[in-house]
Structure 1
Amino acid sequence: MRTELREAAVITVALALGGALLGVLWNWLAPRVPLVGDVVDGAWVVYLKDTEGEQSIGVDGTFTLLALAFGVVSALVVFLVRRRGGVPGVVALGVGGLLGSLLAWRLGVWLGPAQDVLAQAKDVGKGVTFSAPLKLAAKGALLAWPFSGVLVHLGLTALFGPRDPEPVGYGPHGEVR
Structure 2
Amino acid sequence: MTVPNTPPDPARTDVRAVPEDAVPGTEPDPYAAPQEGAPVASDGPGTPLVQRLLPEVRIGAGVVVTCLVVGLVMAALWAWLAPKVPLVVDGDRILYLDPEGEQRAGADALFAIIGLGAGILTALGAFLVTRRRGGGIAVALGLAVGGLLGSLGAWRIGRWLGPGNDLIAQARRVGNGGHFDAGIDLGAMGALLVWPMAAMVVLLALSAAFGKREEDPPPYWGAPAAPQQQPSAPPTSPVGPEGRA
For 1:54, the aligned partner's letter is E
TM-score (norm 1): 0.90
Q: Is contact 1:85–1:154 with CA below 8 Å preserved after alignment?
A: no
2-side partners of 1:50 and 1:35: how far apart? 8
Match of 2:195 among 137, 145, 148: 145
RMSD of aligned C-alpha atoms?
1.4
Q: Counterpart in 1 of 2:74? A: 22
Q: Deviations 1:75-97 (Å, cap 9, x if unpaired)?
A: 11111111133111101001001
Match of 2:183 among 133, 136, 149: 133
Q: Select the structure that is richer in helix.
A: 1
- Note the 1:1-177 alignment, pairs <5 A: 1-39=53-91, 44-83=92-131, 84-170=134-220, 175-176=221-222
1-side partners of 2:83 and 2:217: how far apart? 56
For 2:189, the aligned partner's letter is K
For 2:123, the aligned partner's letter is A
Higher gyration radius (CA): 2
Q: Is contact 1:59–1:134 with CA below 8 Å preserved after alignment?
A: yes
Gap regions ≥5 residues in structure 2: 1-52, 224-245
1-side partners of 2:165 and 2:84: how far apart? 13
Secondary structure at the residue paired with 2:93? strand
Secondary structure at the residue paired with 2:176? coil
For 2:74, the aligned partner's letter is L
For 1:118, the aligned partner's letter is I
Gap regions ≥5 residues in structure 1: none
2-side partners of 1:67 and 1:92: how far apart? 16
For 2:199, the aligned partner's letter is G
TM-score (norm 2): 0.66
1-side partners of 2:121 and 2:154: how far apart? 16
